[in-house]
Chains A and B, each alone.
Chain A
Amino acid sequence: MRYALRAPTYAGLAVVYAYRWTLGVLWGGRCKYHPTCSQYALDALRHYGLVRGSILACWRLLRCNPWSRGGVDYAEKQRLFR
């Protein structure tokens, strides 16, 4: 039952892994943040579920632009949902 409830989260995780194994490798993307964006997405999804995790991941992606400064940024340390 617990696993059934977490099914949406697993779907989200699957999407991230799919990205990692295909386009992520192809682009050889290096991220300017410490846990890379995909790792951040995985952490966020595991910790906060599909909805909040996705929002966090999207926000992170938006921050990972050429004008931001990057740095160390863990999903668990987020301040969006408290």
Chain B
Amino acid sequence: MILGSPLTPLEDILRNVLDWLHGSIGLSWAWSIVALTVIVRLLLVPLMVRQIHSMQNLQRHAPQMKELQKKYKADKKRQQEELMKFYRENNINPAASCLPLLAQFPVFISLYLVLRHFSKHPPPGDLSWLHGFVPNIAAHASSHWSGFVLLAIYVVSQLVSTLLMATTMDKTQRTMLLVLPVAFVFFLVNFPVGLVIYWVTTNLWTVGQGLITRQMMPKPAPPPRRSSRTPPQEETPPEDGARDTATVPAPAAAPAAPKRVRRKRKKRGGARR
């Protein structure tokens, strides 16, 4: 109850949205939860798009950043600081920011409260899911074997989504990632099944989003120059801003546009032989 009080408005909103999805749209309670999850994630899509853009920007500046890293190899703290300064100067957004991640957390807690309310005062309507595969979404996940199936799906989807999202990490982090979802199962067993449905849905969304993002983003391929025989070109910085603009006016605005080699659809079928 104490935990609920600051979140009561959000709980009410969630309850209203669920009521609307159930009453007006006519979804079952379980599907309403799925729909709610999708709505939450749809609202977060603009953030995602923004992140993709910044990732691309990041890749564009990768060589310079490598140089910075090399320069301050000895001093990790300094290195980090310089990198951050570099981001700022070049208007780069490093991939993640904390707020979107945390924004999902209140939703999760509120949904937990709503479902807890459901288990005490069952709302009118069917609380089962997928023709009785899950008999009651307000009951604990451990109360029926289907709960364990969902938990298994949760673990797998969690692993896949985190591995997809997190590109850079060290070994300890990686092992933690593999262990934690399994450890979380012991908590989630005591949670309402509906919450597991939420979690699974959001994970699957993350996986799908990650796959689409991968398609959209060019691989951080090593610069093609590297393998060629020509000596590595130094990116000659413009000596004088004024003179530079006089000679090459237009391209100066967009320095080092990513030379994306478009070889996506090149003779896929191989019919010409």
Judge whether B98 is part of the interface by a CB distance below 8 angstroms: yes
* CB atoms of B181 and A26 under 8 A apart: yes
Judge whether B213 is part of the interface by a CB distance below 8 angstroms: no
How many A residues are at the interface, by size bracket? Answer: 20 to 34
Once A and B bind, how many residue pairs between them come within 8 Å at the CB atom? 80
* CB atoms of A31 and B80 under 8 A apart: no
List, in ascending order, chain A residues with CB within 8 A of B168's CB: 30
Judge whether B102 is part of the interface by a CB distance below 8 angstroms: yes
List, in ascending order, chain B residues with CB within 8 A of A71's CB: 84-85, 87-88
Query: In the complex, what residue of chain A is closest to B48 when comparing beta carbons?
Result: A66
- The interface bits of chain A over 3-26 (1 if a CB of B lies within 8 angstroms of the residue's CB, else 0) are 000000000000000000011011
Dominant secondary structure at the B interface: helix
* CB atoms of A26 and B50 under 8 A apart: no
New contact pairs (7) apart from A30-B95, A30-B168, A34-B80, CB-CB < 8 Å: A22-B180, A25-B177, A26-B181, A27-B101, A28-B173, A67-B50, A72-B81
Q: Which residues of B come within 8 Å of A, CB atoms?
A: 47, 50-51, 54, 80-81, 84-85, 87-88, 91, 93-102, 105, 158, 162, 165-166, 168-169, 173, 176-177, 180-181, 184
